[in-house]
A and B are shown apart, each in its own frame.
Chain A
Amino acid sequence: MNVIVCVRQTPDTESAIKIAADGRTINTDGLKYVLGPYDEYSHEAAVQLVEKNGGEVTAISFGPERVKETLRNCLAIGASRAVHIHDEDTSHDDALAIATALAAAIKPMSYDLIFTSNKGTDSDRGLVGAMLAERLGLPYVGLVSELELEDGGKALMCGRDVEGGQREKIKVTLPAVICAQKGLREPRYASLMNIMQAKKKPLETKTAAELGVDTAGAVKLEVEKMEYPPQRPPGRLVEGGSVDEKVKELVRLLKEEAKVL
């Protein structure tokens, strides 16, 4: 079976994120980029499916030149080939624009299953998967934390958590778009042997124009302003008086000010 994994390159989760001077984007100076932590799970799920059932995994990503580094990382953790949709214009980093470009690139490919992940740890949108399914006219199952092939590989049984601690099972015919939940499969490390082999695997580059996509025209959202979350007030020590008095004061504060009791 052939599986496509849509991945996103995101700033390393240990990076300090600063808002840029324009107040609408983040300052990318000195940022280190990694394969999105949520994508690690969906990528691993794809690789394990192919290891078990044969076929190949194609990793695909949209973005500037630096995205190639992340795609090469995918090749070192089990993808057979990679496709980069090259676009240097960061204002095109919009869910609908990305989904439109991905759909155009994926359409002519041969596939049984497409993975996306919960969300990019940077934009936190979680929109591309559903939009991509719509663009390709495929069924979509969101936040899948358990999966099993059925009907000789023609269908997929997906398990997902729903409200109230309940589990929901959804059977979907393939091809379909699956959005992986965190923890679906434990990601592997890129072994030295696989890093070496990754050099021999194909990484294809396409531009949106070559795919016949007007990325700028597909952008429907405009970020007006970014701001930092309010600073958390410092911790308070309840001082003075006896233990009983302090406990009373603490309970009062928790009830009246923090409103947690």
Chain B
Amino acid sequence: MSQTMTEKPSGFCFELSEDHKMVQKMVRDFASEHLAPRAAHYDRTCEFPWENVKKMAELGLMGVTVPEELGGAGMDSLAYSIVIEEISRACAATGVITAVQNSLGEYPLMAFGTEEQKKKYLPLMARGEKIAAYALTEPGSGSDSASMQTRCELQGDHWVLNGQKNWITNSTGAEIFIVYATKDPDLKHKGICCFIVEKGWEGFTVGKHEETLGVRASGTCGLTFENCKVPRENLLGVEGEGFKIAMQALDTGRVGIAAQAVGIAQAALDNALRYSKERQQFKKAISEFQLVQEMLVQMAVEIDAARLMLYRAALKRDSGEKFTKEASMAKLYCSEVAMRAALNAVQVHGGYGYSKEYPVERLLRDAKVTQIYEGTSEIQKLVIARELLRD
């Protein structure tokens, strides 16, 4: 798991280590017992799933890769991927909440934080006592994040933030926000700074909860900064290097979203298999019809490939090498597989798949966002092309 836990395999190894299997079994058992039964409720009500978060925190799931001395479990990205996959298989909204906490909240602090910042914030986040959010996107800047308009200005011993953020996951529950702002939009990515902002600071307000198609309990809101004062010591990393932090966090984040997508896809297959064996038409189970089998097979084959790409990206990250291309490839492929698997699962269920009586319609709505957030499929293709052409 951490470097001390798993010996580097010599050559290809398609078997998880005993420890990773233990993590998988624990999270799978926990998620099917505690998360799955409440997933439809949270989807319907859009409530932030505090009950889930509290239980997951006790199990160490809110700080998977944070070192033990800072309150985390000290595990590797492969363990992290397994955790997000298994949570998302039961409840995709809880999956993205956990992914944002781990990769977009904790990772920038681990990689760029000062010792003081790490000691102050990481244990709170890793133990799940405080939820983190990541504020990059704005109403006018999504894929083109360097064009952000939120301004930061140094005034004596503090920075002053002004502007708006949009579609910020975890906002209703979060108390720690990783916020990006620019010293001057004309400087493009070179002007961007990263800040740690706490809930309740003057001039910082969390807007109303956004009604979304899927992952509806993920606490997604807009944020407003009106002369919000941020102490100088809460600048994360170096002034003007915010864009680098944002992009590196997204590399890690994309592994998390790929894992979420594999979890949703697996849930789609689980449901399609169960239903097709139970549902009788023309006096036999519909799983006996070859056209239904074709859908099941397509799902199974693609999920297998997707999971291997996910694990490869996670292992590459754990190796310490650059993993931008692998993370984008995994995110692109896994999210497309999740969408196709969810569509097939609805099709296998026929009319029932279109109703709220079965969970597959929720899986379809949840799957869609994996092709959009943390970089759309189109952006992943740009990233992959850039990396390909650079080699």
Q: Decide: B79 and A191 in contact? CB cutoff 8 A.
A: no
Q: Decide: B5 and A192 in contact? CB cutoff 8 A.
A: no
Q: Decide: A195 and B74 in contact? CB cutoff 8 A.
A: no
Partner of B58, one of A34, A72, A73, A191: A191
Residue of B nearest to A200 (CB): B4
Shortest CB-to-CB span from B36 to chain A, Å, is 15
Partner of B68, one of A72, A76, A190, A196: A196
Tell me the A142-169 residues at the B interface (CB within 8 Å): none
Q: Decide: A193 and B68 in contact? CB cutoff 8 A.
A: yes
Interface membership of B206, Cβ < 8 A: no
Q: Decide: A196 and B59 in contact? CB cutoff 8 A.
A: no
**Contact of A192 with B29 at beta-carbon distance under 8 Å, contacts A69-B18, A72-B18, A199-B5 already known:** no
**Contact of A196 with B22 at beta-carbon distance under 8 Å, contacts A189-B30, A191-B59, A191-B60 already known:** no
Interface membership of B23, Cβ < 8 A: yes
Residue of A nearest to B71 (CB): A193
| Chain A residues with CB below 8 A from B23, complex form | 192, 195
Tell me the B10-47 residues at the A interface (CB within 8 Å): 18-19, 22-23, 25-26, 29-30
Q: Decide: A189 and B59 in contact? CB cutoff 8 A.
A: yes
**Contact of A192 with B61 at beta-carbon distance under 8 Å, contacts A69-B18, A73-B22, A199-B5 already known:** yes
Q: Decide: B22 and A76 in contact? CB cutoff 8 A.
A: yes
| Chain B residues with CB below 8 A from A199, complex form | 4-5, 19
Q: Decide: B26 and A190 in contact? CB cutoff 8 A.
A: yes
Give the distance in Å from the alpha carbon of A193 to the alpha carbon of B4 in the complex. Answer: 14
Give the distance in Å from the alpha carbon of A127 to the alpha carbon of B25 in the complex. Answer: 29
Residue of A nearest to B57 (CB): A191
Interface membership of B93, Cβ < 8 A: no
| Chain A residues with CB below 8 A from B19, complex form | 195, 199
Q: Decide: A192 and B58 in contact? CB cutoff 8 A.
A: no
**Contact of A196 with B18 at beta-carbon distance under 8 Å, contacts A189-B29, A189-B59, A191-B60 already known:** no
Partner of B60, one of A34, A69, A73, A192: A192
Q: Decide: B22 and A190 in contact? CB cutoff 8 A.
A: yes
- Contact-residue size bin, chain B (C-beta under 8 Å from the other chain): 20 to 34
Q: Decide: B73 and A193 in contact? CB cutoff 8 A.
A: yes
| Chain B residues with CB below 8 A from A195, complex form | 1, 19, 22-23, 26, 73
Interface membership of B75, Cβ < 8 A: yes
Q: Decide: B26 and A189 in contact? CB cutoff 8 A.
A: yes
Interface membership of B64, Cβ < 8 A: yes
| Chain B residues with CB below 8 A from A193, complex form | 60, 68, 73
Residue of A nearest to B60 (CB): A192
| Chain A residues with CB below 8 A from B5, complex form | 196, 199
Residue of A nearest to B33 (CB): A189
**Contact of A192 with B30 at beta-carbon distance under 8 Å, contacts A73-B22, A76-B22, A199-B19 already known:** no
| Chain A residues with CB below 8 A from B68, complex form | 193, 196
Give the distance in Å from the alpha carbon of A34 to the alpha carbon of B21 in the complex. Answer: 12
Question: Which interface residue of A69, A72, A193 has the most chain B CB atoms within 10 A?
Answer: A193
Shortest CB-to-CB span from A225 to chain B, Å, is 32
Shortest CB-to-CB span from A84 to chain B, Å, is 14
Shortest CB-to-CB span from A183 to chain B, Å, is 15
Shortest CB-to-CB span from A189 to chain B, Å, is 5
Give the distance in Å from the alpha carbon of A69 to the alpha carbon of B15 in the complex. Answer: 15
Residue of A nearest to B29 (CB): A189
**Contact of A196 with B26 at beta-carbon distance under 8 Å, contacts A72-B18, A189-B59, A191-B58 already known:** no
Produce 1/0 per residue, A49-62, CB < 8 A to B. Answer: 00000000000000
Give the distance in Å from the alpha carbon of A196 to the alpha carbon of B83 in the complex. Answer: 15
Shortest CB-to-CB span from A201 to chain B, Å, is 13
Question: Which interface residue of A69, A190, A191, A196 has the most chain B CB atoms within 10 A?
Answer: A196
Give the distance in Å from the alpha carbon of A199 to the alpha carbon of B74 in the complex. Answer: 13
Q: Decide: A72 and B22 in contact? CB cutoff 8 A.
A: yes
| Chain B residues with CB below 8 A from A192, complex form | 23, 26, 59-61, 64, 73, 75, 79, 83
Produce 1/0 per residue, A177-213, CB < 8 A to B. Answer: 0000000000001111101100100000000000000
Shortest CB-to-CB span from A30 to chain B, Å, is 14
Give the distance in Å from the alpha carbon of A190 to the alpha carbon of B29 in the complex. Answer: 11
Shortest CB-to-CB span from A126 to chain B, Å, is 25
Residue of B nearest to A76 (CB): B22
Give the distance in Å from the alpha carbon of A192 to the alpha carbon of B68 in the complex. Answer: 10
Shortest CB-to-CB span from B52 to chain A, Å, is 14
Shortest CB-to-CB span from A215 to chain B, Å, is 26
Q: Decide: B58 and A196 in contact? CB cutoff 8 A.
A: no
Residue of B nearest to A187 (CB): B29
| Chain A residues with CB below 8 A from B25, complex form | 34
Shortest CB-to-CB span from B61 to chain A, Å, is 7
Give the distance in Å from the alpha carbon of A153 to the alpha carbon of B64 in the complex. Answer: 39
Shortest CB-to-CB span from A211 to chain B, Å, is 26
Give the distance in Å from the alpha carbon of A196 to the alpha carbon of B17 in the complex. Answer: 13
Shortest CB-to-CB span from A36 to chain B, Å, is 15
Produce 1/0 per residue, B68-80, CB < 8 A to A. Answer: 1000011100010
Give the distance in Å from the alpha carbon of A72 to the alpha carbon of B18 in the complex. Answer: 9
Give the distance in Å from the alpha carbon of A196 to the alpha carbon of B20 in the complex. Answer: 11
| Chain B residues with CB below 8 A from A196, complex form | 1-2, 5, 68, 73-75
| Chain A residues with CB below 8 A from B29, complex form | 189
Shortest CB-to-CB span from A51 to chain B, Å, is 15
Give the distance in Å from the alpha carbon of A76 to the alpha carbon of B61 in the complex. Answer: 15
Q: List 15 A-B contacts (CB under 8 A).
A: A76-B22, A189-B29, A189-B30, A189-B59, A190-B22, A191-B26, A191-B58, A191-B59, A191-B60, A192-B79, A195-B23, A195-B73, A196-B2, A196-B5, A196-B73
Known: A195-B23, A195-B26. 5 other contacts (CB 8 A): A72-B22, A189-B29, A189-B59, A190-B22, A191-B59
A residues neighboring B (CB under 8 Å) = 34, 69, 72-73, 76, 189-193, 195-196, 199
The 5 tightest CB contacts between A and B, nearest first, are A192-B60, A192-B73, A191-B59, A191-B60, A193-B60
